[in-house]
A and B are shown apart, each in its own frame.
Chain A
Amino acid sequence: MSDASKPAKKDADGEVRRIKAPVKLDYTVTAGLALSRFLKGVTAGKLLGQRCGVCSKVYVPPRGGCPTCGVGMGEQVEVKDTGTLTTFCIVNVPFEGQTMKLPYVYGLIALDGADNALHHLILAPPEEVRMGMRLRAEWVPPESRPASMEAIRWFVPTGEPDAPWDSYKEHL
C-alpha cells in the first residue's frame, strides 16, 4: 500500500525535508462499444471502422462519436489492411519496453477506405522510408493474435508506386 510505516529519511542536519509517498491505483477500464467491436475484429484479422452518417467519414478504429459532427457513428465498414504512409519518425532513442532494434521507423498510416490515420511500426530501412509510401499489414498468426493493435506486427512496403500527395494530404 504505502511507505507510511518506514521512517522518513533525514537530511544531514537531522531535519526531514522529503518523504516518499508512492501511489498505486488499479482500474478496470471498459473499451467501449465501438472499440470493443474493433478489437474483436482484429483477432479475426479484420479492420472494422464506422462511417459517420453526417459527414460520411470512416474512422478506424471507430469511436464513440464523430469528432467533427458530435453525433453517434453509423454503418460499420471493413477497410483494407493496406494503406499509405502519411508521416513518420525515425526512432533513435532507447526506452524501456522497446521491442525493435534501433534505428527503426514509426509512422501514421491512412488505411485504404479510412478517413483517419493510425500509427504503427514500419518495417523498412529508415533511409528508404518516405511520405506516400504504400504499405500493408503483417499480421500475427491467428492463434496468437491479441485483441490489440499488436495483432498486426508491423506494416511493410508493398512495392507499389507512391500514392499522390493529394490522396493523403488531409491525414497528416
Chain B
Amino acid sequence: MSPREIAIVSYASLLAVPGEPQRDEVELLLPVVTEAVARSGIPKRELGFTVSGSCDYLGGRPFSFVMALDAIGAWPPIAESHVEMDGAFALYEAWVRLQCGDVDSALVYAFGRSTQGDLGRVLAQQLDPYTLSPLWPDDTALAALQARALLDRGRVSERDFAAVAARTRGGDADELVQRPYTVAPLRAHDRGTVADGAAAVVLAAGDLARKVCKRPAWIRGIDHRIEQHQLGQRDLTRSVSTALAGERAGVGKGPVDVAELYAPYTHQELILREALGLGEGVEVNPSGGALAAHPLMVAGLSRFGEAAERIIDGSANRAVAHATSGPCLQQNLVAVLEAAP
C-alpha cells in the first residue's frame, strides 16, 4: 500500500538571535501558530491533530509543553501529542497520524529558548549517564572530535569548514580560517549561533491540501534512522543513518533543487551532503540554516518549513529537508518534498 498523500501547506517562524530577552515561550509561540494557521486557510477548530516538539531541559522546568498549550487554545478539547525532541520529529508523528486516514490536517509546532541556560551543559545531559555525562563534555568538544576525525580522513580541510560558514552566515573563508580556535579544530564561526525561537507548520492530506494551497509541498518520502548512542561505537566521519534515511525517502530518485540540512556545525554540513549524495548544483541552506540561528527543538522543523516554502513559492520543484538529534548527528530524519504529488 502506498502512503497517503500529505503536504506541508503553510509555515511560520520567529527566530530571536542571539536570544529573546522579554517574551516567554507562549508569547514567542502564539504569533507563530496564529500565522501558520491563518496562512493554511484551514480554520483552527477544524485541524484534526496537534503535535509539538520541545525540551524541558532548555527552560529547566517540568511539563513546559503543557503551559505552551495556552498558545493553541485547547478548548473544546483537541487531539494533541508531544515529543521531547525537535519539532521535525513531531512533524513525522503528524505524518504517521495522518496515514490513519480519519483526519485530514495537523498543526505541528516547536519552541525552544536555548539561551536560558548553558546549552553546552544542557546537551551533556543527553549523553550516556554512566561513562560520558558525568564528565560534562559540551557539544563543541564532541563536535571538535568529530571534525578532527573528518580532517584526519583527509578529504576536507579547515578552509572547507570556513567556506560553509562564509556561504551561510557571511564573511570571507580565507579570512575566517585565520581566526583563533574555540576548540581546535573548530572556530567560533563553525558553531551555530545559539538562539531562541518558535516555528509552526500545517500539514494537509490529498484534496484538502489541493483546496487550500496552490502549490502544496508534497512529502514524497520520509524516513528516520538512529545510530549507536556511544560515540566510540560509530564512524563519526560518516552519517550512515542519514544515508539510509535519504535512500528510503528517495532523495536519489531525481534532481534536488534545494536542501535544508540541520547542521549545527559547519563540518556536519559536509558529512550530511556526502551522506545524501548532494552534488555541487544543489543549493544548500539558503535560509542560513542552524549556523545562522540555532534554537534547539526548532531548528529541525524550520528546515522542513524553509524547504517547503521554496516549493510553495514556486522557486523549487524538488527539495530535501533534514533534521538531526542527539550527539554528533546520532539520529537523522530525511524527507523529500515535491511540487507534484
Query: Which A residues are within 8 Å of any B CB, using their own CB?
Result: 1-4, 19, 21, 23, 25-36, 63-72
- Complex CA gap A66/B34 in Å reads 13
Residues of chain A contacted by B69 (CB below 8 angstroms): 67
Q: Does B133 contact A (CB under 8 A)?
A: yes
The smallest C-beta distance from A62 to any residue of chain B, in angstroms, reads 11
Question: Pick the contact of A21 from B25, B72, B118, B129 — CB < 8 Å?
Answer: B129
27 contacts between A and B (CB under 8 A): A2-B135, A3-B134, A4-B135, A4-B136, A23-B125, A25-B121, A25-B125, A29-B59, A29-B60, A30-B22, A30-B24, A31-B24, A32-B24, A32-B25, A33-B23, A33-B24, A34-B24, A36-B22, A63-B70, A64-B23, A64-B25, A64-B27, A65-B27, A67-B69, A67-B70, A69-B73, A70-B44
Chain B 41-80 per-residue mask, 1 if CB under 8 angstroms from chain A, else 0? 0001000000000000101110000000111111100000
Chain B 127-156 per-residue mask, 1 if CB under 8 angstroms from chain A, else 0? 001100111100000000000000000000
Question: Pick the contact of A64 from B71, B133, B136 — CB < 8 Å?
Answer: B71
Chain B residues 184-207 with CB under 8 Å of chain A are none
Q: Does B30 contact A (CB under 8 A)?
A: yes
The smallest C-beta distance from A17 to any residue of chain B, in angstroms, reads 11
Contact B135 A66 (CB under 8 A): no
* A36 to chain B: closest residue by CB: B22
Contact A34 B27 (CB under 8 A): yes
- Complex CA gap A141/B151 in Å reads 65
Residues of chain B contacted by A30 (CB below 8 angstroms): 20-24, 113, 116
Contact B121 A67 (CB under 8 A): no
* A63 to chain B: closest residue by CB: B70
Most chain B beta carbons < 10 A, residue from A3, A19, A27: A27
Residues of chain B contacted by A2 (CB below 8 angstroms): 134-136
Chain B residues 1-57 with CB under 8 Å of chain A are 20-27, 29-31, 33-34, 44, 57
Instruction: Determine the interface band of chain B, counting residues with CB < 8 A from chain A.
Output: 35 or more
Known: A26-B118, A70-B72. A21 touches B133 (CB 8 A): yes
Contact B22 A19 (CB under 8 A): no
Contact A68 B75 (CB under 8 A): yes
Prevailing SS type, chain A contact patch: loop
Question: Pick the contact of B134 from A4, A33, A67, A68 — CB < 8 Å?
Answer: A4
* B19 to chain A: closest residue by CB: A30
Q: Does B117 contact A (CB under 8 A)?
A: yes
Residues of chain B contacted by A23 (CB below 8 angstroms): 125
The 5 closest A-B pairs by CB, nearest first: A70-B73, A32-B24, A64-B26, A68-B75, A27-B60
The smallest C-beta distance from A61 to any residue of chain B, in angstroms, reads 12
The smallest C-beta distance from B232 to any residue of chain A, in angstroms, reads 18
Q: Does B122 contact A (CB under 8 A)?
A: yes
Question: Pick the contact of A67 from B57, B74, B117 — CB < 8 Å?
Answer: B74
- Complex CA gap A27/B71 in Å reads 23
- Complex CA gap A4/B30 in Å reads 43
The smallest C-beta distance from B40 to any residue of chain A, in angstroms, reads 15
Residues of chain A contacted by B22 (CB below 8 angstroms): 30, 32-33, 36
Contact A72 B136 (CB under 8 A): no
- Complex CA gap A143/B76 in Å reads 45
Known: A32-B23, A35-B24, A70-B30. A25 touches B70 (CB 8 A): no
Residues of chain A contacted by B25 (CB below 8 angstroms): 32, 64
Contact B26 A65 (CB under 8 A): yes
Most chain B beta carbons < 10 A, residue from A19, A63, A65: A65
Contact A32 B134 (CB under 8 A): no
* B24 to chain A: closest residue by CB: A32
- Complex CA gap A25/B69 in Å reads 25
- Complex CA gap A29/B118 in Å reads 12
Residues of chain B contacted by A19 (CB below 8 angstroms): 130, 134
Contact B73 A65 (CB under 8 A): yes
Residues of chain A contacted by B125 (CB below 8 angstroms): 23, 25
- Complex CA gap A29/B115 in Å reads 9
Residues of chain A contacted by B122 (CB below 8 angstroms): 25
Contact B134 A21 (CB under 8 A): yes
- Complex CA gap A1/B24 in Å reads 29
Question: Pick the contact of B26 from A26, A27, A63 — CB < 8 Å?
Answer: A63
